[in-house]
Amino acid sequence: MAEVDLLARLPQARRNLQKRAEAQTPENIAIARQYGEVYFDGPRELGYGGYRYDGRWTPIAEDIVRHFDLKPGDRVLDLGCAKGFLVKDLMAVLPGLQAYGLDISHYALTHCEPEVAGRLIRASAERLPFSDRSFTAVLSINTIHNLARPDAVRALREMERLAPGRGFIQVDSYRTPEQRDVFLSWVLTAKFHDYPDGWRALFQEAGYTGDWYWTIVE
Ligand SMILES: C[S@@+](CC[C@H](N)C(=O)[O-])C[C@H]1O[C@@H](n2cnc3c(N)ncnc32)[C@H](O)[C@@H]1O
Protein backbone atom coordinates (compact mmCIF):
# COMPACT_ATOMS: atom_id res chain seq x y z
CA MET A 1 0.00 0.00 0.00
CA ALA A 2 1.44 3.34 -0.97
CA GLU A 3 0.46 6.90 -1.61
CA VAL A 4 1.65 7.55 -5.14
CA ASP A 5 0.85 10.45 -7.45
CA LEU A 6 0.26 8.60 -10.71
CA LEU A 7 -1.51 11.62 -12.23
CA ALA A 8 1.42 13.98 -11.66
CA ARG A 9 1.80 14.56 -15.41
CA LEU A 10 -1.89 15.36 -16.01
CA PRO A 11 -2.38 19.08 -16.87
CA GLN A 12 -4.17 21.04 -14.14
CA ALA A 13 -7.88 21.60 -14.84
CA ARG A 14 -8.99 25.21 -15.22
CA ARG A 15 -11.78 26.03 -12.75
CA ASN A 16 -14.05 29.03 -12.28
CA LEU A 17 -14.96 28.44 -8.64
CA GLN A 18 -17.42 31.31 -8.40
CA LYS A 19 -19.43 30.24 -11.45
CA ARG A 20 -19.52 26.66 -10.21
CA ALA A 21 -20.61 27.70 -6.70
CA GLU A 22 -23.53 29.58 -8.24
CA ALA A 23 -24.53 26.45 -10.17
CA GLN A 24 -24.62 24.16 -7.11
CA THR A 25 -28.39 23.92 -6.91
CA PRO A 26 -30.10 20.64 -5.97
CA GLU A 27 -31.55 20.48 -9.51
CA ASN A 28 -28.14 20.85 -11.16
CA ILE A 29 -26.56 18.33 -8.80
CA ALA A 30 -29.30 15.84 -9.70
CA ILE A 31 -28.69 16.45 -13.42
CA ALA A 32 -24.90 16.07 -13.07
CA ARG A 33 -25.38 12.80 -11.19
CA GLN A 34 -27.16 11.33 -14.19
CA TYR A 35 -23.75 11.30 -15.95
CA GLY A 36 -25.42 12.09 -19.24
CA GLU A 37 -24.68 14.48 -22.08
CA VAL A 38 -25.01 17.56 -19.85
CA TYR A 39 -22.36 16.28 -17.43
CA PHE A 40 -19.80 15.33 -20.08
CA ASP A 41 -20.47 17.69 -22.97
CA GLY A 42 -22.68 20.45 -21.55
CA PRO A 43 -21.62 23.69 -19.83
CA ARG A 44 -18.56 23.65 -17.53
CA GLU A 45 -20.70 24.67 -14.52
CA LEU A 46 -22.53 21.32 -14.79
CA GLY A 47 -19.60 19.00 -15.41
CA TYR A 48 -16.66 18.71 -17.76
CA GLY A 49 -17.76 21.35 -20.26
CA GLY A 50 -16.68 19.08 -23.14
CA TYR A 51 -15.00 15.72 -22.42
CA ARG A 52 -12.91 15.22 -25.55
CA TYR A 53 -9.88 13.07 -26.28
CA ASP A 54 -6.71 15.17 -26.52
CA GLY A 55 -3.96 12.72 -25.56
CA ARG A 56 -3.49 14.09 -22.04
CA TRP A 57 -3.78 10.61 -20.51
CA THR A 58 -0.83 9.21 -22.51
CA PRO A 59 1.86 10.17 -19.93
CA ILE A 60 -0.39 8.84 -17.15
CA ALA A 61 -0.77 5.55 -19.03
CA GLU A 62 3.05 5.34 -19.30
CA ASP A 63 3.41 5.93 -15.56
CA ILE A 64 0.74 3.31 -14.76
CA VAL A 65 2.48 0.73 -16.97
CA ARG A 66 5.77 1.46 -15.20
CA HIS A 67 4.27 1.51 -11.69
CA PHE A 68 2.58 -1.89 -12.07
CA ASP A 69 5.34 -3.29 -14.30
CA LEU A 70 2.69 -4.30 -16.83
CA LYS A 71 3.52 -6.63 -19.71
CA PRO A 72 1.76 -7.56 -22.96
CA GLY A 73 -1.07 -9.96 -22.14
CA ASP A 74 -1.72 -8.48 -18.69
CA ARG A 75 -5.29 -7.44 -17.95
CA VAL A 76 -6.16 -4.00 -16.56
CA LEU A 77 -9.57 -2.62 -15.61
CA ASP A 78 -10.40 1.09 -15.42
CA LEU A 79 -13.35 1.57 -13.08
CA GLY A 80 -15.18 4.79 -13.99
CA CYS A 81 -13.62 4.83 -17.44
CA ALA A 82 -16.06 7.38 -18.96
CA LYS A 83 -15.36 7.48 -22.73
CA GLY A 84 -12.38 5.15 -22.40
CA PHE A 85 -9.52 7.63 -22.92
CA LEU A 86 -7.21 5.90 -20.44
CA VAL A 87 -8.15 2.44 -21.73
CA LYS A 88 -7.19 3.58 -25.23
CA ASP A 89 -3.89 5.13 -24.11
CA LEU A 90 -2.89 2.14 -21.98
CA MET A 91 -3.21 -0.13 -25.03
CA ALA A 92 -1.36 2.41 -27.20
CA VAL A 93 1.64 2.71 -24.86
CA LEU A 94 1.84 -1.05 -24.26
CA PRO A 95 0.72 -3.00 -27.34
CA GLY A 96 -0.69 -6.38 -26.32
CA LEU A 97 -2.01 -5.12 -22.98
CA GLN A 98 -5.63 -6.18 -22.45
CA ALA A 99 -7.30 -3.05 -21.06
CA TYR A 100 -11.00 -2.81 -20.23
CA GLY A 101 -13.28 -0.16 -18.78
CA LEU A 102 -16.44 -0.07 -16.70
CA ASP A 103 -18.76 2.85 -16.10
CA ILE A 104 -22.33 3.56 -15.05
CA SER A 105 -22.86 6.17 -17.80
CA HIS A 106 -24.72 4.99 -20.87
CA TYR A 107 -23.90 8.32 -22.56
CA ALA A 108 -20.14 8.02 -22.00
CA LEU A 109 -20.02 4.40 -23.10
CA THR A 110 -21.97 5.09 -26.28
CA HIS A 111 -19.69 8.05 -27.10
CA CYS A 112 -16.45 6.18 -26.47
CA GLU A 113 -13.29 6.25 -28.53
CA PRO A 114 -13.57 3.84 -31.50
CA GLU A 115 -10.40 1.99 -30.42
CA VAL A 116 -12.07 0.78 -27.21
CA ALA A 117 -15.42 -0.29 -28.61
CA GLY A 118 -16.26 -3.73 -27.20
CA ARG A 119 -13.91 -3.24 -24.22
CA LEU A 120 -16.19 -1.15 -22.01
CA ILE A 121 -19.08 -2.43 -19.97
CA ARG A 122 -21.91 -0.76 -18.12
CA ALA A 123 -22.12 -1.61 -14.43
CA SER A 124 -21.86 0.05 -11.05
CA ALA A 125 -18.56 0.02 -9.18
CA GLU A 126 -19.87 -1.69 -6.06
CA ARG A 127 -20.71 -4.91 -7.89
CA LEU A 128 -18.17 -5.91 -10.52
CA PRO A 129 -19.16 -8.67 -12.95
CA PHE A 130 -15.75 -10.37 -12.99
CA SER A 131 -14.28 -13.34 -11.17
CA ASP A 132 -11.74 -13.21 -8.34
CA ARG A 133 -8.16 -12.31 -9.33
CA SER A 134 -9.19 -11.82 -12.96
CA PHE A 135 -7.08 -8.66 -13.47
CA THR A 136 -3.40 -7.77 -13.13
CA ALA A 137 -4.35 -4.29 -11.91
CA VAL A 138 -7.54 -2.30 -11.30
CA LEU A 139 -7.62 1.50 -11.51
CA SER A 140 -10.30 3.94 -10.44
CA ILE A 141 -9.67 7.61 -11.05
CA ASN A 142 -11.99 10.29 -9.65
CA THR A 143 -14.92 7.90 -9.41
CA ILE A 144 -15.21 6.22 -5.98
CA HIS A 145 -16.13 9.51 -4.23
CA ASN A 146 -19.30 9.53 -6.36
CA LEU A 147 -20.61 6.61 -4.31
CA ALA A 148 -22.16 6.92 -0.86
CA ARG A 149 -19.74 5.71 1.82
CA PRO A 150 -21.17 2.15 2.19
CA ASP A 151 -21.02 1.67 -1.59
CA ALA A 152 -17.49 3.10 -1.70
CA VAL A 153 -16.46 0.43 0.84
CA ARG A 154 -18.10 -2.25 -1.34
CA ALA A 155 -16.36 -0.91 -4.47
CA LEU A 156 -12.95 -1.07 -2.81
CA ARG A 157 -13.64 -4.62 -1.65
CA GLU A 158 -14.48 -5.45 -5.24
CA MET A 159 -11.25 -3.90 -6.53
CA GLU A 160 -9.32 -5.92 -3.98
CA ARG A 161 -11.17 -9.09 -4.98
CA LEU A 162 -10.29 -8.65 -8.68
CA ALA A 163 -6.64 -7.69 -8.17
CA PRO A 164 -5.44 -8.13 -4.57
CA GLY A 165 -2.89 -5.45 -3.66
CA ARG A 166 -2.78 -4.26 -7.28
CA GLY A 167 -5.19 -1.33 -7.22
CA PHE A 168 -4.88 2.40 -7.67
CA ILE A 169 -7.56 4.86 -6.67
CA GLN A 170 -7.62 8.62 -6.85
CA VAL A 171 -10.36 10.39 -4.89
CA ASP A 172 -11.48 13.87 -3.84
CA SER A 173 -9.83 15.03 -0.63
CA TYR A 174 -8.40 18.10 1.13
CA ARG A 175 -5.61 18.54 3.64
CA THR A 176 -6.75 21.76 5.36
CA PRO A 177 -10.06 23.46 6.28
CA GLU A 178 -9.30 26.08 3.61
CA GLN A 179 -8.90 23.39 0.93
CA ARG A 180 -12.13 21.81 2.19
CA ASP A 181 -13.97 25.12 1.71
CA VAL A 182 -12.66 25.43 -1.85
CA PHE A 183 -13.69 21.83 -2.55
CA LEU A 184 -17.18 22.44 -1.19
CA SER A 185 -17.60 25.40 -3.52
CA TRP A 186 -16.69 23.17 -6.47
CA VAL A 187 -18.19 19.74 -5.78
CA LEU A 188 -21.21 18.58 -7.80
CA THR A 189 -21.35 14.80 -7.90
CA ALA A 190 -19.31 13.49 -4.95
CA LYS A 191 -21.38 11.77 -2.25
CA PHE A 192 -18.50 10.97 0.07
CA HIS A 193 -15.31 12.97 0.62
CA ASP A 194 -12.97 13.36 3.54
CA TYR A 195 -9.51 14.30 4.77
CA PRO A 196 -6.84 11.68 3.96
CA ASP A 197 -7.23 10.10 7.42
CA GLY A 198 -10.95 9.52 6.80
CA TRP A 199 -10.20 7.92 3.45
CA ARG A 200 -7.46 5.75 4.93
CA ALA A 201 -9.95 4.52 7.56
CA LEU A 202 -12.31 3.60 4.71
CA PHE A 203 -9.52 1.76 2.85
CA GLN A 204 -8.79 -0.23 6.00
CA GLU A 205 -12.46 -1.03 6.62
CA ALA A 206 -12.70 -2.36 3.04
CA GLY A 207 -9.50 -4.37 3.37
CA TYR A 208 -8.12 -2.45 0.40
CA THR A 209 -4.38 -2.97 0.06
CA GLY A 210 -3.71 -1.16 -3.21
CA ASP A 211 -2.30 2.32 -3.82
CA TRP A 212 -4.01 5.71 -3.78
CA TYR A 213 -3.74 9.45 -4.29
CA TRP A 214 -5.84 12.57 -3.79
CA THR A 215 -7.52 15.08 -6.08
CA ILE A 216 -7.30 18.41 -4.27
CA VAL A 217 -9.06 21.43 -5.79
CA GLU A 218 -6.93 24.57 -5.40
C1 LIG B 1 -15.15 12.50 -12.73
S2 LIG B 1 -15.57 11.25 -13.88
C3 LIG B 1 -13.97 10.46 -14.08
C4 LIG B 1 -13.80 9.84 -15.43
C5 LIG B 1 -12.37 9.35 -15.72
N6 LIG B 1 -11.94 8.31 -14.80
C7 LIG B 1 -11.44 10.52 -15.67
O8 LIG B 1 -10.68 10.66 -14.70
O9 LIG B 1 -11.46 11.33 -16.62
C10 LIG B 1 -16.46 10.11 -12.89
C11 LIG B 1 -16.92 8.88 -13.65
O12 LIG B 1 -17.50 7.97 -12.71
C13 LIG B 1 -18.62 7.37 -13.32
N14 LIG B 1 -19.46 6.82 -12.24
C15 LIG B 1 -20.19 7.50 -11.33
N16 LIG B 1 -20.77 6.65 -10.48
C17 LIG B 1 -20.40 5.41 -10.84
C18 LIG B 1 -20.67 4.10 -10.35
N19 LIG B 1 -21.48 3.91 -9.29
N20 LIG B 1 -20.10 3.05 -10.96
C21 LIG B 1 -19.29 3.22 -12.04
N22 LIG B 1 -19.00 4.44 -12.56
C23 LIG B 1 -19.54 5.51 -11.97
C24 LIG B 1 -19.24 8.51 -14.11
O25 LIG B 1 -20.14 8.08 -15.12
C26 LIG B 1 -17.99 9.17 -14.69
O27 LIG B 1 -17.60 8.60 -15.91
Q: Is the CB of 140 under 6 A from ligand 1?
A: no
Beta sheet of 75-79, edge-to-edge order: 120-122, 98-103, 75-79, 137-141, 167-172, 211-215
What digits encode the pLDDT tens for the residues 150-202? 999 999 999 999 999 999 999 999 999 999 999 999 999 999 999 999 999 99
Q: Is the CB of 101 under 6 A from ligand 1?
A: no
pTM greater than 0.75: yes
Q: Is the CB of 103 under 6 A from ligand 1?
A: yes
Is a pLDDT exceeding 90 seen at residue 218? no
What digits encode the pLDDT tens for the residues 32-81? 999 999 999 999 999 999 999 999 999 999 999 999 999 999 999 999 99
Report which ligand 1 atom has the smallest distance to the Cα of 81.
6
Report which ligand 1 atom has the smallest distance to the Cα of 78.
6
Of 10, 64, 103, 169, the residue with max ligand 1 atoms within 8 A of its CB, to mutate for a pocket test, comes to 103
Is a pLDDT exceeding 90 seen at residue 15? no
The string over 116-148, giving b where at least 16 C-beta atoms fall within 10 Å of a residue's C-beta and e elsewhere, is beebbeeeebbebebeeeebbbbbbbbbbbbbe
